[in-house]
Amino acid sequence: MSATTSHEVRFNLPNIEVAAKVWGPADGVPVIALHGWLDNAATFDLIAARMPGLQIVALDLPGHGLSDHLPAAGYSLWQQAATVLQVADSLGWQRFALLGHSMGAIISGILAGSLPDRIMGVGMIDGLLPVTAEADDAPAQMAKYFAASLQAANKRKPIYDSVEKAIKARLMGANTPISREAVGILVERGLMPDHGGWTWRTDPQLFLPSPLRFTNQHAIAFIEAIRAPACVVLANQGVMAKYPAVVERVWQFEHIRVHAMDGGHHLHLEAQAPEVATLLHSFFSDLS
């Protein structure tokens, strides 16, 4: 299958400018792609190029990649979801599909559950349910957020004297196995020059703990409300695999197709990319 090239676009939204990479023809199946936490639009480089007939608009979500940063406390899942809707409206897409990895998959589930009339279908890679907490945990969770916010003012971004050192730092910080090649793709879009070296474009606020989390009932309610065709690619050695109870719950959603595949959390950027692309291409093509 021949690869297609991408081009860059920017969306001037009411309160922020958002960058994106676009693949495919203007008359293709409309798909907005959402990356994971601390990643960027380049996370879809290896699979988007293998899915002809789709127009894939892969966003740098606010605070990531080449997009602007949001004001303080702006990075809730629902705020990011609202930005996705603003992009869709800018494109003139009343109905569209979603492709999400990790955090992007969680945001996709929230949108699909909230707005069934607008979402044609949703494909998710190693992500579905967010980290949850019980209502009684809310005061302690908010306290963590307040404490971290006060400390954040004194923190400075690291500066690396080479891109290779930034890649090594990202590899060391990975919580699941990922190749140097995959990290290189993400880091290229995630760095900017600073003081003769390189530092992260990422908004430091993204490292703050969430001030408020969904309860388990909240999380399940969004997924149960999805009416569009939906599928999840589960990485057998990914993030979700660390939580067997969550994986078991995912398999219990009868309206979601689940495909388990050997590979790590970023399997769509690894050797499994062709297999992931073939599976998702078939899914999205059936929506047209």
pLDDT digits (tens, 9 = 90+) for 57-84: 999 999 999 999 998 777 899 999 999 9
As a whole number of angstroms, the distance between CA 67 and CA 41 comes to 10
Spatial CB neighbours of 5, under 8 Å, sequence gap ≥ 6: 23, 49
As a whole number of angstroms, the distance between CA 276 and CA 75 comes to 29
Low-confidence ranges of the chain (pLDDT < 50): 1-3
The domain ranges of the chain are 6-133+213-285
As a whole number of angstroms, the distance between CA 119 and CA 23 comes to 19
* Ramachandran quadrant class, 71 (left: phi over 0; alpha: psi -120 to 50; beta: rest): beta
pLDDT digits (tens, 9 = 90+) for 246-281: 999 999 999 999 999 999 999 999 999 999 999 999
Question: What confidence score (pLDDT) does residue 2 get?
Answer: 39
Q: Please list the active-site residues.
A: 102
pTM: 0.96
The CA–CA distances, whole Å, from 116 to 78, 81, 113 equal: 16, 14, 6
Question: What confidence score (pLDDT) does residue 155 get?
Answer: 85
Question: What confidence score (pLDDT) does residue 1 get?
Answer: 35
Whether the Cβ atoms of residue 101 and residue 35 lie closer than 8 Å to each other: yes
Domain 6-133+213-285 indexed as CATH 3.30.110.60: no
